Structure 1
Amino acid sequence: METRDTVFLVVMILSSFLLSFEWLRRFTYKPTNPFIDPLISLSIMILAGTLSLMLISINNKLQDFEDKMEAKDRALRVNMESSETKIEESMNELSSKVDNAVYEFNRRNYH
């Protein structure tokens, strides 16, 4: 996980905590149980954390997929260049054989 991803994770968790805390305070939420307010804030922080980790995981998988596609593209390009070189060599060899055969044919006909 990159540093940038870690920073985004921390920012998401802190902002979710502040959002839940201020939202509950603004609407003068007074729970009968004093443990409910921290529980709401904690659950929102966990939700934001897991959401950000899921996004980071998806980003990492997409990056791996992109790297694999680039590697396959490079391999395909190298194979195409190799095939092109082999075909060109074969064509040059065939062309020289045809030229030699035509030369030999012309030499026999005119001599």
Structure 2
Amino acid sequence: MESRDIIFSVVMVVSAFVLTYEWLGRFKYSPANALIILAAIVMVGSLAAMILSVDMRLRKIDSMLEAKERSLRINVQSVEGNLDKRMNEVLGRVDDVMNSLERTRYR
């Protein structure tokens, strides 16, 4: 979690407080109902926490996918190396057989 995420969350909570307080003051509701203001702050705070939680989960999933991709790439390279080695062995045998067939044909 980065510091800018925390700053944005604090800005969200403060702006919810100011917005709710000013909005209630416009309706000539002089003692601004603290419960409404508290509910707005809790709602925006929980929304900010949820967004940060989703961001952390996505970062975790991204790092897991990168690790799996790296291991898969290594596995594919090793399979490719083994396949090249076996193909070279098979080609060597085929060349030997072809050479022996050509020798027997020329005799």
1:78 to 74, 79, 87: 74
One-letter amino acid of the counterpart of residue 78, structure 2: S
Give distance in 2, aligned partners of 1:80 and 1:55: 37
RMSD of aligned alpha carbons:
1.5
Across the two proteins, how many residue pairs are aligned to each other? 107
Among candidates 44, 53, 56, match of residue 52 of structure 2: 56
Shift of 1:85: 1.2
- 1:1-111 paired onto structure 2 within 5 Å: 1-30=1-30, 37-111=33-107
Give unmatched runs, 5+ long, in structure 1: none
| Whole-angstrom distance in 2 between the partners of 1:41 and 1:94 | 78
Relative to the length of structure 2, the TM-score reads 0.90
Displacement of 1:67 in angstroms is 1.4
Unaligned runs of 5+ in 2: none
Q: Secondary structure at the match of 2:56?
A: helix
CA–CA separation in structure 1 for the residues paired with 2:39 and 2:104: 96
Q: What TM-score do you get using the length of structure 1 for normalisation?
A: 0.87
- Identity fraction in percent: 39
Superposed structure 1 runs of 4+ greater than 3 Å apart? none
Pick 1 or 2: higher relative contact order, CA cutoff 8 A, min separation 6. 1
Separation in 1 of the partners of 2:8 and 2:19?
Answer: 16
1:104 Cα deviation from its structure 2 partner: 1.8
